[in-house]
Structure 1
Amino acid sequence: MPSLQSLSPIAALSIRAYTATTALGRGRAAQAEALRARRGGLRENDFPHTGEGARLRTWIGRVDGLEDAPLPDPWARWDCRNNRLAWLAFQQDGFPEAVSEVRDRLGPTRVALVLGTSTASIGATEEAYARLEEGADGEPAFPADLDRPIVHTPHSLGDFMQAATGLRGPCVTVATACSSSAKVFAQAARLISSGIVDAAVVGGVDTLCGSVLYGFNSLGLVSVRPCRPFDSERDGLSLGEAGGFALLERPGPGEGGLQLRGYGESSDAHHMSAPHPEGLGARLAMSDALARAGVEARDVGYLNLHGTATPANDGVEAGAVAALFPDSLHASSTKGWTGHTLGAAGIVESVFALIALEDGLLPGVLNSTAPDAACGPQIRFDNARSEGLRYAMNNSFGFGGNNSSLLFGRA
């Protein structure tokens, strides 16, 4: 394995368009306005109940309107909550037009589709099993409206978006838990660097479902109140749902604008659900991203932290950041605004990093008031502004030690 110092800087990729839809609203402007106003999107859990007993007591970041927004008729076979959110998110910020332009200019086979998700459309599968009927052979069978095999696979999102966009390049689903839609940037960069494609649509979508809510609760990771990242009294996460996309392409000569400058990935495999106690994987991912970008840690102005508000995660990440970055860094977790959107966290928080670069808005930490003693001066609870921000980073760390850090910059 080469040392981090031996990594050669990668060729920067232009970010032609980007968008996100979360509990804060639809599109970039809604995200920026909520961050600026410190208006969160969490609510007491009102997700349609599944199972027996009382509804789980927690707070969630739910996207409004999905129940009443079925997919257009041509895409009806893919209809489910996750793909509805994908379609809704895709429509924002002129993203369909940007994809059509690059598809027509380069050709549909020269544009990849690389999407991340954690649970995909498992909510539809839960509903199908809850509504089992007696089949023609007397055996249990899915109801007719859910007897659509494609929505019961992890690749449901990618298959749907390939049909909806008309792209015919490689179509890849990345499922590495909470780092899924950060790792798509690295996957796309390799596809473009190798010459397999000339551009890529990247992103991710994850929606709430019973498996997510009750699964994380069974691990003892869910708080009964809005999550408080890096607070001394934090006691667990708030779950959310979201979708987002970005369009990557090689820049033209002398082209300016926002760019993907570096990526870092690691798999420390310390534990299925707990981070490495010394932050080994986190440090490797961040250092690797800096090395690939040829950028010093002191040059990074904003870092969107993974910051889930679980006791173990935040302390470990704070230590890794303090060991690598100077006190001048503005670092924060934005999960107090959106909740932890799992497989969509990477793209959503990359959008927040890009907003920081474009608008100079450096969000703080929402809901938290008393910083944990493990926090260095890099972790800021209050919003700030920066007019000269050159580089912004995003951390996304998944179960099993699947870690990813992305470095964005201005050309």
Structure 2
Amino acid sequence: MKPLILSHFTATSCLGRGLDATLDALRDRRGGLAPCDFERAELDTWIGAVADVESQTMRADLADYACRNNRLAQLGFTQDGFAQHVEAAVARYGAARVGVFVGTSTSGILETEYAYRRRDPPSGALAPGFHYAETHNPYSLAAFVRAWFGLRGPATSISSACSSGAKVFGSARRMIEAGLIDAAVVGGVDSLCLTTLYGFNSLELLSRDPCRPFDVNRNGISIGEAAAFALLERAPDTPDDDAVLLLGVGESSDAHHMSSPHPDGLGARAAMEQALATAGVSAGEIDYINLHGTATPSNDAAESRAVGALFERTPCSSTKGATGHTLGAAGALEAVIAALALRHRFMPAGVNTAQPDPALGLDYVLESREARVDVVLSNSFGFGGTNCSLVLGRADRARGGNPARPAHREQTS
């Protein structure tokens, strides 16, 4: 595929607002998880909450969209000058030529939880003023972003569980390649709610400790929330050396099980293989892998087998130990983290992981460090076997501006 450029990007999570806070936390191997104090959530677990989400003021003309998820989206896309860059893209291309492709899993379901608490006791009727279409409906996120920027291009919310925020890159790429649009706002937003917390608790997947991906003692996930966005456009003929390009996208749907991955990670492997093929790069050219890495025993084992079948001790880590699992936002958040790794040439450590499970056979990064990172693979795998892998690379690598890689890699952990 012809590379596209992530001309601007931003991320907000429990690590902080914007790129500087995210980068500083990752470089310092500092996570943002804390004991769960979410309203009415009486659970012995840790969460990755974003501060002051509910204090965000919605524009008067968008009042019907008021919910935690859309407030978090607004908080996210107003960082790092991202909103201004979108507005500049609209000025260049026109509002009808900029699309919106965003991922979410539960959208504004918290607003429905509130509505049921306030329902009329005799009739059971929901309280007046509840706007399902603008809050709980998964499309509300795309509609809100589209309305906020005054866009008139195609808009889609993708809800494929934990691959949602990665699959948006594939959807946007196809629209741009088809000539239907010139640019796309892509991203993912998921926010904390009781449905998610108690849902994963009922599956016995929540850890009582901060999650430890790929650790020998891993025992479950920590739920987080995040908003991450990128502006995707056709790459110019001579982009800046540190510009980040979307080189390849791989998607698969193995449908092995409703909530468990194929034990050998066959769907994950198919997504990675397709991403490499569309990028036109070999497995040996990948410098770092941002793993899906949920910290559950079965998911990490399955992903390790899939990675081991294609790569030979490529340095890798899961950043969910720092951010928690942000579900529908994870793919977008981790794509932005991959972009930061490329732009600033470093490998982020797997926060909270102390003893990588030797049975998994990975070269797991335990300390963040500077490194020559030119091409990165980012994995996102969801319930039901909905898988997506992205290959991102630096523009100067695409022009051959770096010396040849060594014939072998040193062990890094």
Q: Normalising TM by the smaller chain, what interval?
A: over 0.9
How many Å apart are 1:75 and its aligned residue?
A: 1.6
Query: Equivalents in 2 of 1:112, 1:377: separation in Å?
Result: 38
Matches within 5 A, 1:2-401: 10-49=1-40, 55-133=42-120, 139-147=123-131, 149-256=133-240, 257-327=243-313, 329-386=314-371, 388-401=372-385
Which deviates more from structure 2 when the two are superposed, residues 223-232 or residues 246-255?
246-255
Q: How far off its partner does 1:93 sit?
A: 0.8
Q: Secondary structure at the match of 1:217?
A: helix
* Partners of 1:380 and 1:275 in 2: CA distance: 24
Maintained 8 Å contact 2:347/2:365: no
C-alpha contact 1:236 1:311 (8 A) present in aligned 2: yes
Cα deviation digits, residues 56-92 of structure 1 (max 9, x gap): 1100000000122232323211000000000000101
> How many angstroms apart in 1 are the aligned matches of 2:236 and 2:218?
46
Between the aligned residues of both structures, percent identity stands at: 51
DSSP-derived class of the 2:332 partner:
helix
> Residue 29 of structure 2 contacts residue 367 of structure 2 at CA under 8 Å; is this kept in 1?
no
Q: How many angstroms apart in 2 are the aligned matches of 1:92 and 1:152?
A: 24
Partner of 1:4 in structure 2?
Answer: none
CA distance in 1, matches of 2:129, 2:104: 24
Tell me the distance in 2 between the aligned counterparts of 1:225 and 1:355.
28
Q: Confirm or deny: 8 A CA contact 2:9 2:230 kept in the other structure.
A: yes
Structure 2 contact 375–393 (Cα < 8 Å) conserved: yes
Report if the CA contact (8 A) 1:306-1:333 is conserved.
yes
Report the secondary structure of 1:119's partner residue.
coil
Partners of 1:258 and 1:395 in 2: how far apart?
17
Tell me, what secondary structure is at the counterpart of 1:99?
Answer: helix
CA offset digits 1:344-372 (Å, max 9, x no partner): 00011011100100011211211111111
| 1:140 Cα deviation after fit | 2.5
Quote how far apart the aligned CAs of 1:147 are: 4.6
8 Å contact 1:22–1:62 — kept in the other structure?
yes
Tell me the number of residue pairs that the alignment of Structure 1 and Structure 2 aligns. 393
Deviation at 1:130, TM superposition (A): 1.4
The 2-side partners of 1:375 and 1:355 are apart by 27
- 4+ residue runs over 4 A deviation: none
Q: TM-score, normalised by structure 2?
A: 0.93
String of CA shifts for 1:274-318, please: whole Å, max 9, x gaps: 010111011111111011010011111111000000000001111
| SS of equivalent to 2:380 | strand
**What SS does the aligned partner of 2:147 have?**
helix
Secondary structure of 1:89's match? helix
> Structure 1 CA distance, aligned partners of 2:137 and 2:345?
40
Contact 2:95 2:150 in 1 (8 A): yes
Residue identity in the other structure for 2:73: A
Read off the aligned partner of 1:196 and give its amino acid letter: L
Aligned 8 A contact 1:322 1:378 in 2: no
What amino acid is the match of 1:44?
P
What amino acid is the match of 1:248? L
Q: CA deviation at 1:39?
A: 1.2
Code of the aligned partner of 2:261: P
Aligned CA distance change for structure 1 residues 155 and 409 (closer, same or farther; 3 Å): same
Kept in 2: contact 1:318–1:374 (CA 8 A): no
Q: Contact 2:346–2:373 at 8 Å: present in 1 too?
A: no
Aligned AA (1:49): R
Listed as ranges, the gaps of 5+ residues in structure 1 are 1-9
Question: Residue 340 of structure 2 aligns to a residue in which SS?
Answer: helix
The letter for the 2-side match of 1:358 is R
- Distance across 1 between alignment mates of 2:56 and 2:79: 15
Q: CA deviation at 1:225?
A: 0.8
Look up the SS of the partner of 1:382 in the other structure: coil
Aligned Cα root-mean-square deviation (Å): 1.2
> How far apart are residue 120 of structure 1 and its match?
0.4
Secondary structure of the residue aligned to 1:197 is coil
Alpha-carbon distance in structure 2 between the residues aligned to 1:207 and 1:36 = 25
Secondary structure at the counterpart of residue 54 of structure 2: helix
Give SS of 1:202's match.
strand
Q: Is the 8 A contact 2:65 2:131 kept in 1?
A: no
The whole-number CA distance in structure 1 between the counterparts of 2:131 and 2:252 is 39
